[in-house]
Amino acid sequence: MTTTARDVSVFGDAITYFNEAADLLGLDAGMRAILTHPSRQIIFSIPFQRDTGEFEVYTGYRVQYNFARGPAKGGIRYHPGVTLDEVTALAFWMTWKCAVVDLPFGGGKGGVTCDPATLSQNEIERITRRYAAELVEVVGPDKDVPAPDVNTTPQIMAWFMDTYSMHVRQNTPGVVTGKPIEIGGSRGRTEATGRGVTICALDQMEKMGLKPETARIVIQGFGNVGLYAAKLFAERGCTIIGISDVTGAYHNPKGIDIPAAIAYSGKHHNLAGFTGGEKISNAELLTLECDVLVPAALEKVFTAENATQIRAKLIVEGANGPTTPEADRIFREKGIIVIPDIMANAGGVTVSYFEWAQDRMGYFWKEKEVNERLQETLLDNLHELQAIVAERKTTLRTAAYMLAIDRVVKALRLRGVYA
């Protein structure tokens, strides 16, 4: 049997990127060992009652990967593909993502192996409350701060916050970010990941001589990341020639009417039947000739099998882990520039940080202030990466890991290893 990319551990792939940067930094074996092991992995059962009255049991996870720079931080994913390996990789990436944009957080991630499409809102609420209750001792504003991820919404964050607050007998909005604004969420959080993708992309495009008015963009995924990235690219005058979601992909060389696509997916809950573009396969979408390609769905989208066929000039990773190390090597050889996930999609966690800070102050900012601070945070750090690339003749991904590892290692050495 041949081994496909899917069989390889996601965490194993993630460590490949870490090692490349660690080699360039000359990192010693002890530090490498510490940083390639998660601090804590928690697995638990979530028994819950179906609306029919029957009981079922799902599996919940929370991985707290590293605490050197602050409390663990990272989303909760509800998806049938959730495994300990995936959650660990995602928590590992959160560690470097928070460090790359210099947030005072470590890295964490959680998940429940389930398919929310088969669950009612009441069932999702019960699962969420039990998930939160199982974690009461180990989460908190100074311990570990969850947030939304694939298939988890502000409403789910509200249930998480309420359950935690009930247990500790104290209203604690800072235990989770991505909440509705009415109960301590931040303005600008919902759009933040997509906004960050466009901020990073437009900056890199300028350096490559790609003008927004003539740029053709393809976006894979039309959830919280892809949808807002499409909206903001379109607002900047870019032409979005391809979009997709789980129902399929849609191509229009003249440009898809993004407000119409957003309205359509809002009404129908997906893009099935959308007529604003020719229906093509997801594989065809990824190989469309374009200037900027934005994977904004799940991991392992670009593999050794399809990387040679990619015809974009710039890839901006809205998703976490969309590129396998084999595909990354091919992109490097082909001269395709990649803004890596830990930089490109850091806008979400950056505004999560702003939300956590606002909750602790009890003083909330205007949207303009949030967006300005977001832009400043992302561009300051992206420019650092571009400088490392120029100096070390490496890729943005390796530069991002180098900067992030250096920041985490500095914190770790200052604190010392409690052994």
| Chain residues that interact with ligand GLU, rule: CB under 6 A | 73-75, 97, 147, 149, 177, 320, 345, 348-349, 352
Contacts of 312 (CB under 8 A, 6+ apart): 218, 289, 290, 291, 292, 293, 336
How far is residue 72's CA from residue 106's CA, in Å, rounded to a whole number?
4
Distance CA 408, CA 336 (A): 29
Q: Specify the residue for token string 């990649």.
A: 338
The rounded distance, in Å, linking the Cα atoms of 359 and 345 is: 23
Distance between terminal CA atoms of the chain?
Answer: 44
Residue placing its CB nearer to ligand GLU in the complex, 97 or 126:
97
The nearest distance, CB 43 to ligand GLU, in angstroms, is 20
Closest CA to 252 of 265, 264, 239: 239
Give catalytic residues, as residue numbers.
Answer: 109
Using CB atoms within 10 Å of the CB of residue 326, give its burial: 0 to 12 exposed, 13 to 18 middle, 19+ buried. Answer: middle
| CB closer to ligand GLU out of 345 and 358 | 345
> Closest residue (Cβ) to ligand GLU?
75
Q: Which is nearer to ligand GLU, 274 or 354 (CB)?
A: 354
For residue 419, the minimal CB distance to ligand GLU (Å) is 29
Q: How many residues are there in the chain? A: 419
Please list, in sequence order, all residues whose beta carbon lies within 8 angstroms of the beta carbon of residue 54, skipping any fewer than 6 positions away.
none
Are 299 and 10 contacting, i.e. CB atoms less than 8 angstroms apart? yes
CA 328 to chain centre: 18
Find the shortest distance in angstroms from Cβ 177 to ligand GLU.
5
Residue 290 or residue 378: which is nearer to ligand GLU going by CB?
378
Bridge pairing between strands 278-280 and 292-295 = unpaired
Alpha carbon 126 to chain centroid distance?
Answer: 25
Pick 186 or 239: Cβ nearer ligand GLU: 186
Shortest spacing between CB 40 and ligand GLU, in angstroms = 17
Between 101 and 241, name the residue whose CB sits nearer to ligand GLU: 101
Cβ-in-10-Å burial (0-12, 13-18, 19+) of 257 comes to: middle
Task: Provide the residue type at 324 as one letter.
Answer: T
CA-based torsion, 306, 312, 313, 319: positive or negative:
negative
Minimum CB separation from ligand GLU for residue 347, in Å?
A: 9
